[in-house]
Amino acid sequence: MAKQVFINLAVEHLQKSMDFYTALGFTNNPQYSDDTAKCMVWSDTIFVMLLTHEKFSLYASKPIADTKSSVAALFALTVDNAEEMNAIIESGLRAGGKEPVELMNFDTMQQRTIEDFDGHTWEIFFTRIHEDSAD
């Protein structure tokens, strides 16, 4: 079995958050979802678990961070090209997310950043090295 990554996020409004992540291109796996948690699938190996604060607290030994005012982590997802990156960010903005910083353009990659309603920060990027190797 392939190794999988599950990122667990505490959210205030479960359905609103699920709609936002759906707009980014995630799909919901109802098998691992209920009224307290939604399993959002990015790929065969990457999953984001959206958990109500009450549910998240069952697994945490520390208070839930206020990610609206402090950064707890930066999550990064790769895409194949700038068009896909832009489409994801624009869809997320239409769904109510916010773009806290402008496009970052490096020698080998471009990156855009979006925050969800709870302040969880996602970096969507593509590498030019990857893009060049596809030719």
Q: Measure the CA–CA gap between 107 and 116, rounded to whole angstroms.
A: 28
Report, at the CATH architecture level, how domain 5-133 is classified: Roll (3.10)
Dump the DSSP string for 22-86. HHHT-EEEGGG--SSEEEEESSSSEEEEEEEHHHHHHH-SSPPP-TTTS---EEEEE-SSHHHHH
Q: Kindly list the domain boundaries of the chain, sorted by start residue.
A: 5-133
Could you tell me the pTM of the whole model?
Answer: 0.88
pLDDT one-digit tens code per residue, 9-44: 999 999 999 999 999 999 999 999 999 999 999 999
pLDDT at 135 over 60: no
